[in-house]
Structure 1
């Protein structure tokens, strides 16, 4: 059951919307990934970077497995595109295919040692960029923002899941 859209504008929600639109635009332009490639001198496809993030993030369930289908779902691409992206990550040596622990006929994905090293490098780079963006924020503001951002993204994910 969906709620009717309020005719009265909520300034806080307008700020959230404006911020999310700006963030989405930056994400769509892959600004942070392009910056990492340029500043770190990486020889990696931006699609591979996205695949590595999905594989490292893991499944939603504690015993869940990472599959090409999950990569497709999280990246919002069709399964054939996800399969090509995963193949590129495998060819680069960052991801490997392994037999499922629950069904040996099924293939799952995991990071190689090189994939873990790459992700560690990316975490340090991204966090350094976020620290630069928040350099004039207090520790309390950073903590609150992190907590609220995680809360928002969890709520948003659930809202979108219910809306399907």
Structure 2
């Protein structure tokens, strides 16, 4: 049986009918995640996204722009330096420095919070919006080329499962 077979799971004591991932599945996930991490650390896709941005953007600033863009899409939540620190998994003082660089570069601006005027929030400038749009186009174009020979149903299922996996990662991180 292959890694994707339902019967490759093992039953754990006290779990009743719930099936846990088997050793082959866990080994395959670990190997795939390790390969993804290695590729991500090379940041070749990020470099391509930066090149497609029009205005010069360094990789750290692109990470800040992405985080601000992500936060903006989360239902009106204030995007703060703390939010950026959380998303980039850096300490608040580092986040403060890299946000300051993004502000200085003209891609992000500080604005007063609508909830608490004493608090400073972040939003993208026009240049930041153009840079993030270019990054989205570059990354999505790359993924489209990778998934080009997949059936549409496989593409949808991959997107669904990958999204579910990332949600599980987020929940595990929150503890």
TM range (shorter): 0.7 to 0.9
Following superposition, the deviation at residue 39 of structure 1 comes to: 6.3
**Equivalent residue for 1:81?**
94
- Deviation (angstroms), 1:38: 4.7
Deviation digits for residues 55-100 of structure 1 (CA, Å, limit 9, x no counterpart): 0001696342111111111111121211111111111211110001
Unaligned ranges ≥5, structure 1 = none
| Counterpart contact for 2:110–2:122, Cα < 8 Å | yes
Q: Which runs of 5+ in 2 are unaligned?
A: 1-11, 13-20
Which sits farther off after the overlay, 40-49 or 70-79?
40-49
* Number of aligned residues: 157
Say which is worse superposed, 141-150 or 76-85, in terms of deviation.
Answer: 76-85
Moved more, 9-18 or 145-154: 9-18
Greater relative contact order (Cα < 8 A, sep 6+): 2
For residue 45 of structure 1, report the CA deviation from its aligned partner: 0.8
Are residues 22 and 129 of structure 1, via their aligned partners in 2, closer, same or farther at CA, if it must alter by over 3 Å? Answer: same
| Greater Cα radius of gyration, structure 1 or 2 | 2
CA distance in 2, matches of 1:35, 1:117: 15
Q: Deviations over 1:110-134 (max 9, x none)?
A: 1112111111111111000001112
TM-score, normalising length from structure 1?
Answer: 0.86
Contact persistence 2:64–2:102 (CA under 8 A): yes
Match of 2:79, SS state, is coil
Which consecutive segments of 4 or more residues in structure 1 shift more than 6 A?
A: none
In the alignment, is the contact (CA less than 8 A) between 2:45 and 2:139 conserved in 1?
Answer: yes
Per the alignment, residue 108 of structure 2 pairs with: 95
Equivalent of 1:71 in 84, 94, 107: 84
In 1, Cα distance between equivalents of 2:45 and 2:147: 15
In the alignment, structure 1 residue 146 sits paired with structure 2 residue 159: yes
Aligned-residue Cα RMSD (Å) equals: 2.3
